[in-house]
Amino acid sequence: MKISLTAILPRRSRTKTEPTDRLLTDYQERCGRYLPTESVVYDTEAAFLDSLDKQPGRTAATVILLDSRGQQLSSEEFATRLGSFRDSGTQRVILAVGPADGWSSEARTRASLLLSFGRITLPHQLARVIAAEQLYRALTILAGHPYHSGH
């Protein structure tokens, strides 16, 4: 299984020296110890949705959208969900941070899971780091690594 950490972020909103970029890279590398992981940024939701139809693999990608209306899962529950995707033969999981005005109804209907980190609003860069850390945490839980240690 391969994981794509994805975000909808217009070029005018991107920076190259954010401390969050270093954190994102760090967690992406950590995740790569368990599964191939990449980071992808799209300018628009339309470009992201178009890319879903072009994903490589025998099966459609499993899409997890971060959405304030989504399910709030504990780290263990998220790990279990991720493990279920892996064990059912999913080839690609896309974990995506949406556009500034939220996901469209079309995008939400294409998702396998709407996931919420709570009702708070986070800037895109921070949401991406939190998503990457939670992904890493889930992978360590599945591997029995002590990183999570139950808290």
SS (H, E, C) 103-114: CCHHHHHHCCEE
Please give the pLDDT value at position 149: 80
Question: Is residue 31 a contact partner of residue 135, using CB atoms and an 8 Å limit?
Answer: yes
Q: How far is CA 102 from the centre of its chain?
A: 15
pTM for the full predicted model: 0.92
The end-to-end CA distance of the chain, in Å, is 27
For residue 139, give the H/E element and its range. helix 124-143
- Give the C-alpha distances (Å, rounded to integers) separating 149 from 86, 109, 124, 141, 144: 22, 35, 28, 9, 9
| Residue 36 φ then ψ, to 5° | -60, 135
Please give the pLDDT value at position 106: 96
Please give the pLDDT value at position 15: 65
**Type of residue numbered 137:** R
Give SS3 for 25: helix
Residues of the chain where predicted confidence (pLDDT) is lower than 70: 12-17, 150-151
Please give the pLDDT value at position 94: 97
- Give the C-alpha distances (Å, rounded to integers) separating 44 from 18, 51, 59: 21, 11, 24
Please give the pLDDT value at position 14: 63
Please give the pLDDT value at position 100: 86
Domains of the chain: 2-142 (3.40.1280.10)
Please give the pLDDT value at position 13: 65
Please give the pLDDT value at position 136: 97
